[in-house]
């Protein structure tokens, strides 16, 4: 619960930071200073709330640096990385029983669905937090890894970075078919499409570059959150959580 709250605060900072095209409208030093001061006041209030909840000291170094970075120093990549935390927050909320299910892996989570009940205090949420049974969490972790594997396999095959068959001669499409059928048997999705993982109503091999990027981001963020939850991160450090497939 603490980790979910930390990620939510980092996400909110990214959401509250104006994008570059908006910042560019403030050209004079006075305009920029006024905007920066106003945003910094809001961020300062957020940080004080984190301190009161006992969360501030739990931030990792990169998270703390991001929270303290001024709006004109925050890069587009900072904002993009933080915006994808919605997927991780969703997974942790699911593990805590705060939502019924994890959306399909071709469906980006709506950040609004991650909002906690209004009026709930962070300390109370932490003290009352309980996890789903470990077996349920393990199953979701395995699914996240599998979906992430399919994303990476597609990227490696289309870029010709891996051969089209295993050393024993088994074609990669056959490996993918077996994986898709096993995933369907385990309830990951109703059934494969054309012997492949179903995404956007078609076989995964037919995705566009834009769709591939979206699917990879979704799978990677969920994989990271569930790996961290299952103890894969060295020293429990969020930033070092592996997402190998």
Cα–Cα distance for residue pair 103/163, rounded to 1 Å: 32
Cα–Cα distance for residue pair 227/220, rounded to 1 Å: 10
Closest Cα to residue 203, out of 227, 179, 228, 230? 179
- The 10s digit of each residue's pLDDT in 65-110 is 888 887 777 777 877 888 889 999 999 999 999 999 999 999 999 9
Residue % of the chain over a pLDDT of 70: 100
Give the residue-averaged pLDDT of 187-203. 97
Cα–Cα distance for residue pair 78/90, rounded to 1 Å: 20
Give the global pTM: 0.91
Q: What is the pLDDT of residue 21?
A: 76
Cα–Cα distance for residue pair 189/198, rounded to 1 Å: 8
Domain ranges for the chain: 2-83, 134-240
Cα–Cα distance for residue pair 137/135, rounded to 1 Å: 5
Q: Are 227 and 242 in contact (CB under 8 A)?
A: yes
Higher-confidence position of 92 and 31? 92
Per-residue pLDDT band at 120 (split at 50, 70, 90): confident
> Is residue 6 pLDDT above 80, yes or no?
yes
Give the residue-averaged pLDDT of 177-186. 96
Q: What is the mean pLDDT of the chain?
A: 92
């Amino acid at each position: 619960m603490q980790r979910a709250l930390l990620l939510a605060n980092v996400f909110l900072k990214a959401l509250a930071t104006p994008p570059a095209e908006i910042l560019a409208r403030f050209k004079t030093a006075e305009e920029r200073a006024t905007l920066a001061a106003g945003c910094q006041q809001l961020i300062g209030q957020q940080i004080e709330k984190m301190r009161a909840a006992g969360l501030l000291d739990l931030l990792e170094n990169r998270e703390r640096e991001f929270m303290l970075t001024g709006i004109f120093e925050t890069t587009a990549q900072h904002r993009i990385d933080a915006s994808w935390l919605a997927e991780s927050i969703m997974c942790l909320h699911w593990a805590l029983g705060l939502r019924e299910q994890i959306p399909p892996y071709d469906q980006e989570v709506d950040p609004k669905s991650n909002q906690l009940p209004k009026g709930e205090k962070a300390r109370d949420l932490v003290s009352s937090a309980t996890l789903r049974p470990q077996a349920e969490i393990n199953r979701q972790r395995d699914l996240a890894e599998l979906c992430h594997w399919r994303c990476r396999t597609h990227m490696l095959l289309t870029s010709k970075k891996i051969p089209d068959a295993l050393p024993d001669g088994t074609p990669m499409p056959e490996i993918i078919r077996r994986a898709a059928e096993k995933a369907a048997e385990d309830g990951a999705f109703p059934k494969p499409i054309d012997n492949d993982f179903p995404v956007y109503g078609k076989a995964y091999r037919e995705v566009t570059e834009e769709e591939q990027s979206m699917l990879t981001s979704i799978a990677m963020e969920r994989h990271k959150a569930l790996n961290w939850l299952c103890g894969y991160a060295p020293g429990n450090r969020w930033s070092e959580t592996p997402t190998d497939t």
